[in-house]
Amino acid sequence: MSLLETPIEYLKGVGPQRGDLLRKELGIHKYADLLHLFPNRYIDRTRYYKINELQNSNSEVQVVGKIINIKTVEQGKGRSRLVATFIDDTGQMELVWFQGQKWIRDSIKINVPYVIFGKVTQFGATYNMAHPEMELLDEHKASLRSAMQPVYPSTEKLANKGISNKVINKIMQQLFVETQALFSENLPNYLLDELKLIPKNAALFNIHFPKSQDLLAKAQFRLKFEELFFIQLQLITKNLIRKHKIKGMPFEKVGDNFTDFYTNHLPFELTNAQKRVLKEIRNDLGRNAQMNRLLQGDVGSGKTIVALMCMLLAKDNGFQSCLMAPTEILANQHFNGISELAKELNINIKILTGSTKTSDRKIIHEALENGSLDIIIGTHALLEDKVQFHNLGLAVIDEQHRFGVEQRSKLWRKAAIPPHVLVMTATPIPRTLAMSLYGDLDISVIDELPPGRKPIQTVHRYDSNRLQVWKFIKDEIAKGRQIYIVYPLIQESEKMDYKDLMDGYESISRDFPLPQYSISILHGKMKPADKDEEMRRFAAGKTNIMVATTVIEVGVNIPNASVMIIESAERFGLSQLHQLRGRVGRGAEQSYCILITSHKLSNDSKIRMETMVRTNDGFEISEVDLKLRGPGDIMGKQQSGVLNLQIADLVKDKDILQLARYHAIKLLKDDAPMEKPQHSKLREAFIEISKKKTIWNYIS
């Protein structure tokens, strides 16, 4: 067992009680965990100030000098303070203590050089420092403490139990003494040389005890690169193994269904992006390895038609396909869209959801098993044991982050050979996150809108402009258009949401009275049948305005709806605002999105509104969102623990991530099993890391 595997309580200065606290509060079980507790920030103690250089700023400074006298000053009401006069060769200042006076008075040496450190305040012409950190100059010079002082992550409980930053600093010093700072190098020499990386020993020493800003920067770069490099090695290895191990069924021919549809029934000319993506997918499907591809495209970019064409390829090669969507509304929409596109072709398409009648289910189950059903579209209902395929060749999954891993593997087990997988999402994922989260999926992006679509115009208005907004709506309705008005949903308080929605609905009903105007309402408390009915009326053009909570975020395609009004827009996240905006702009008419907020906006809210007004590009929006919220939040609750990175940060370090990915791909192309002598250390470290069941082993 290596020294780093030693339980933390055996480290001198820790012991059972502190060990228990470190385990519970910071997850530090052994020496290695402490070694990888990296500081959050550093206090720069490289500079020593003279007293005549002091200023009344809020920063901490250190000064070398001596105490020439010390006295107690009464403050009345039985209170006192201890005041010492501290001098150097340029002037004098005061040191003040309100607590622990007796102990301090007894321990202070007069006329001996000290280094003091703390915040300085000015009273009249005199500077003073309250409760300074003090160290005798001789000890200060001899200690292992660096000039840049690390500040470690902590918790309230640790602070209350006396485990201060100073204590963690001290046990960290002890760790380096006991291990003699000998940590084995795990990156090959040629990589250290090429990237000018400092050795592992030097990096770990300088992250905890940096001698200068320059060495600290080198240490951070080295450790961030290493962390991201190993993650990329894991993801890319998984991808390679899958391509070698998991044999797919090659779709070798492009047959009549695909060709007939492509030449005679395309509703519009495909965009260059759609053509590029189709080519990438066809290359995958032609190989005898399982395809595992993520298709990203903004709302309305034409992912469905790409999915249908892949399903036609499956049919041409004698296979069945399924498309799984997270909600009934979405499944229905896919079913209607695909049936409409394929109406001229001789293809059997059915839908299976929770609402499918028992009698229909039976027919569907039989048709799937005997192979007469070519394409099945549905919700989680497709995962039921009763659903068995004759030969499933392609599984398309929409909005995959809403399905768990177990649910997807259930689908795989329904085929003798794992089907090809196409995962679709309209939630643009920033490149950096995609490289990490979906690093083992191949990624295709549709990054242009179909021809004839006009970009949606977005404006930001305050509550006080509501009358102008209402006038604008009336003009649009007069042109025959339809309007969405969306209210926020705040999970904690359904009552409040409902009230907001109802208040809004009432005031809108007053301003848009019957019989001239007709209004639909949609919210979470309604029965599914009532929701569908309201949605149907709106889709059929029987109502002019749809007042709703965010239940319409994903989903329904109503080309005639040209205005999206988002009330209290400051209460929505960027990706939600972008998704809601995508509900309009489905037809050829100019569409609008109006963000209404109160005048009081936080800085983040201002950035969100400005971003929405400035751009329609989902990828740019997702990058801003990532900066504002951090990686955990973007992936939603079920995956927020995904990126437990120890030192790297996906937002700030995306250049290092790209570098790490590049070198990981290069290394694995050259020596995938890592068997060359120069990779022996790397291979050991890789096997160690892979043993630890990190979240990476469960992704996609």
Instruction: For residue range 67-122, list pLDDT tens digits in order.
Output: 999 999 998 888 899 999 999 999 999 999 998 899 999 999 999 999 999 988 88
Residue with more model confidence, 524 or 465:
465
Mean pLDDT of the chain: 87
**What does residue 332 show for φ and ψ, rounded to 5 degrees?**
-60, -40
The answer to whether residues 181 and 205 touch, using CB atoms and an 8 Å cutoff, is yes
pLDDT at 401 over 70: no
pLDDT category, 635, cuts 50, 70, 90? very low
Mean pLDDT along residues 128-135 = 92
DSSP 164-211: -HHHHHHHHHHHHHHHTT-----S-HHHHHHHTPPPHHHHHHHHHS-S
133-151 pLDDT, tens per residue? 999 998 888 775 556 789 8
The answer to whether residues 321 and 310 touch, using CB atoms and an 8 Å cutoff, is yes
Q: Compute the chain's Rg from CA coordinates.
A: 32
C-alpha 610 chain-centroid distance: 21
pLDDT category, 697, cuts 50, 70, 90? very low
**What does residue 511 show for φ and ψ, rounded to 5 degrees?**
-80, -25
Residue with more model confidence, 265 or 46:
265
Could you tell me what percentage of the chain is helix, strand and coil, using 3-state DSSP and rounding each to the nearest 5?
Answer: 45, 20, 35
Residues 6+ apart with CB under 8 A from 632: 640, 641, 642, 643
Mean pLDDT along residues 443-465 = 88
pLDDT at 642 over 50: no
Give the range among 318-332, 342-356, 428-442, 625-639 with minimum mean pLDDT: 625-639
The C-alpha atoms of residue 589 and residue 571 are separated, in whole angstroms, by 29
The pTM (predicted TM-score) of the whole model is 0.66
Instruction: Indicate the helix (H) or strand (E) that contains 306.
Output: helix 303-316
Q: Token pair 């592992």 is at which residue?
A: 200
pLDDT category, 403, cuts 50, 70, 90? low
The C-alpha atoms of residue 640 and residue 167 are separated, in whole angstroms, by 31
User: How close are the terminal C-alpha atoms of the chain, in Å?
Assistant: 34
The C-alpha atoms of residue 161 and residue 169 are separated, in whole angstroms, by 16
Q: Side chain identity at 438, as an amino acid letter?
A: Y
**Cis amide leading into 515 (omega within 30):** yes
pLDDT category, 637, cuts 50, 70, 90? very low
The C-alpha atoms of residue 489 and residue 493 are separated, in whole angstroms, by 8
Residues 6+ apart with CB under 8 A from 547: 485, 487, 501, 504, 505, 508, 519, 520, 521, 522
CB atoms within 10 A of CB 547: 25
In the prediction, which pLDDT does 491 show?
A: 52
pLDDT category, 360, cuts 50, 70, 90? very high
Q: Side chain identity at 223, as an amino acid letter?
A: L
In the prediction, which pLDDT does 645 show?
A: 80
In the prediction, which pLDDT does 27 show?
A: 92
Taken as a whole, the chain contains a residue count of 700
Residue with more model confidence, 54 or 93:
93
pLDDT category, 302, cuts 50, 70, 90? confident
pLDDT at 351 over 90: yes
Residue with more model confidence, 349 or 75:
349
In the prediction, which pLDDT does 612 show?
A: 96
Give the range among 352-366, 489-503, 573-587, 590-604 with minimum mean pLDDT: 489-503
In the prediction, which pLDDT does 563 show?
A: 96
pLDDT category, 531, cuts 50, 70, 90? confident
pLDDT at 662 over 70: yes
pLDDT category, 393, cuts 50, 70, 90? very high
Reference 34, options 46, 42, 26; nearest CA is 26
DSSP 199-267: PHHHHHHHHHS-SSHHHHHHHHHHHHHHHHHHHHHHHHHHHHHHHHHSB--------HHHHHIIIII-S
pLDDT at 391 over 70: yes
In the prediction, which pLDDT does 638 show?
A: 37
272-300 pLDDT, tens per residue? 999 999 999 999 999 888 898 989 887 77
E strand residue ranges, 272-419: 292-297, 320-324, 349-352, 375-378, 392-398
Angle 473-475-477 from CA coordinates, rounded to 5°? 70
In the chain, how long is the greatest CA-to-CA distance? Answer: 100
Mean pLDDT along residues 452-461 = 90
Reference 575, options 598, 613, 608, 614; nearest CA is 608
Residue 25 DSSP SS3: helix
In the prediction, which pLDDT does 631 show?
A: 62
pLDDT at 264 over 90: yes
pLDDT at 245 over 80: no
Mean pLDDT along residues 542-547 = 94
The C-alpha atoms of residue 132 and residue 115 are separated, in whole angstroms, by 10
Mean pLDDT along residues 629-644 = 50
pLDDT category, 1, cuts 50, 70, 90? low
CA distances 580 to 201, 360, 519, Å, are: 51, 34, 19
Angle 118-119-122 from CA coordinates, rounded to 5°? 135
In the prediction, which pLDDT does 404 show?
A: 62
Mean pLDDT along residues 387-413 = 82
The answer to whether residues 567 and 487 touch, using CB atoms and an 8 Å cutoff, is yes
In the prediction, which pLDDT does 495 show?
A: 67
pLDDT at 643 over 50: yes
Give the range among 28-42, 178-192, 616-630 with minimum mean pLDDT: 616-630
User: Among the ranges 479-493, 510-524, 543-557, which has the highest mean pLDDT value?
Assistant: 510-524
For residue 106, give the DSSP letter: H
In the prediction, which pLDDT does 479 show?
A: 95
The answer to whether residues 225 and 659 touch, using CB atoms and an 8 Å cutoff, is yes
Mean pLDDT along residues 437-449 = 79
In the prediction, which pLDDT does 550 show?
A: 66
Residue with more model confidence, 243 or 267:
267
666-679 pLDDT, tens per residue? 999 999 999 999 99
The answer to whether residues 112 and 95 touch, using CB atoms and an 8 Å cutoff, is no
Q: Which residues of 609-628 are buried (b: 16+ CB within 10 A; e: fewer)?
A: bebbeeebebbebbbbbbeb
